[in-house]
Structure 1
């Protein structure tokens, strides 16, 4: 009996799944983080321009073109916003100073690098919040956290100044007082700095550090030895 070859019909490829119009959990988390940061940036700018008490959540919402209830998806309160702004600036300052210390080098070079970090951060919106608004509007428990962060930065400057004294790089002084003076002077940049000013943050930092470490008084030139006349003979010791 003749047999006929049978062919197996080809299996049809499955149709591609339709692309979902909804974002993935990772994408949603990333979008939420970006919006959260936008809320903080807008709030910090308004806090610095108008003051903390004069800025409302409605003002922040209007700046972002959203409704006030929308803000509550990303922040809990105005106090919470200020806390995050100040905490962000102090945390960045602490990390940058620790990076300088970890890199090592001569103590005076580290001191200059840390002062520059400090000066540059207080020209940024979050850094200006630390200087212009501070911790006073916050409840006592939150103020305690921020003071702990500030104390850590102050301690690093004291240690650096002590190392500079041991290396003979600066005059013998009280490291605690010197740290207060340096940080206080650099902090004040955050109050008067303007983005439309003539100097960039880097130029301001460099000039401020130069004035703080070298002073403003012009030092007299060291006395010079009188020129020796050509052909003059040296006197021999008797």
Structure 2
């Protein structure tokens, strides 16, 4: 049974008019999710629409009902990765607490998202393959992530919770380190995404030097 057939079965109980649109949206999302997995596994250039159709268990012409091109698929995958990150960061900030509490929460969210299909696609494939206008739009979204980290670092310093530092450089270091998880993460590895996120946050905030009080 193909993924599309499974979606049809699950959608069968949906109500009349909205059911068709819900089914189409679910199938389109299946296309994007499957494409993100393949981009992460093989790379963008090494993945064809035929590969995506084969994994979904449908014909290639069927894909064109949901997407126009492989470039559009990549754009949507990267956009979803960015939107997930921005939404997660905003929810973490809205939860309140000190600047340090919010920074830790945002770091965990980011570290967790880059182990997911769309978040990983954002890191492994990026936006370099996209047309200039799309690339500009996505990079504006990326800048929002950096700005959120930068403001929290700056607030943490002002509140006396973080050591004095250059907020811009520190935000770059935090974002870069967490992003790199998406490069090497292996779902079959020894550590779960939550364990990786916890270790990453601890290392970035506490460092690796042994303190005198710990000897």
- The TM-score normalised by the length of structure 2 is 0.91
Distance in 1, matches of 2:30 and 2:164, equals 46
State whether structure 2 residue 86 is matched by structure 1 residue 94.
yes
Residue in 1 that maps onto 2:211? 219
Structure 2 counterpart of 1:74: 66
Query: How many residues of Structure 1 are paired with residues of Structure 2 in the alignment?
Result: 201
Q: Over residues 209-238 of structure 1, what are the superposed CA-to-partner deviations in whole Å (9 max), with x where a residue is unaligned?
A: 100110111111289xxxxxxxxxxxxxxx
Q: 2:39 aligns with which of 22, 35, 47?
A: 47
TM-score by length of 1: 0.82
From 90, 95, 102, give the equivalent of 1:110: 102
38-47 or 101-110, larger mean C-alpha shift: 101-110
Matching residue of 1:158: 150
CA distance in 2, matches of 1:207, 1:141: 37
Q: Does 2:132 correspond to 1:140?
A: yes
2:168 pairs, out of 149, 154, 176, with 176
Rounded Cα–Cα distance in structure 2 between residues aligned with 1:144 and 1:66: 33
In 2: Cα distance, 1:211 partner to 1:140 partner? 36
Larger Rg: 1
Decide which structure has greater helix share: 2
Instruction: Identify unmatched segments of 5+ residues in structure 1.
Output: 1-22, 224-238
Q: Secondary structure at the match of 2:213?
A: coil
Inter-partner Cα distance in structure 2 for 1:69 and 1:33: 17
Corresponding residue of 2:185 = 193
User: Relative to 1, partners in 2 of residues 1:98 and 1:79: Cα closer, same or farther, differing over 3 Å?
Assistant: same
User: How far apart are residue 26 of structure 1 and its match?
Assistant: 0.8
Q: Which moved more, 1:95-104 or 1:84-93?
A: 95-104
Instruction: Name the SS of the counterpart of 1:53 in structure 2.
Output: coil
SS in 2 for 1:134: coil
Task: Show structure 1 runs of 4+ deviating over 4 A.
Answer: none
Task: Measure how far apart 1:95 and its partner are.
Answer: 1.0
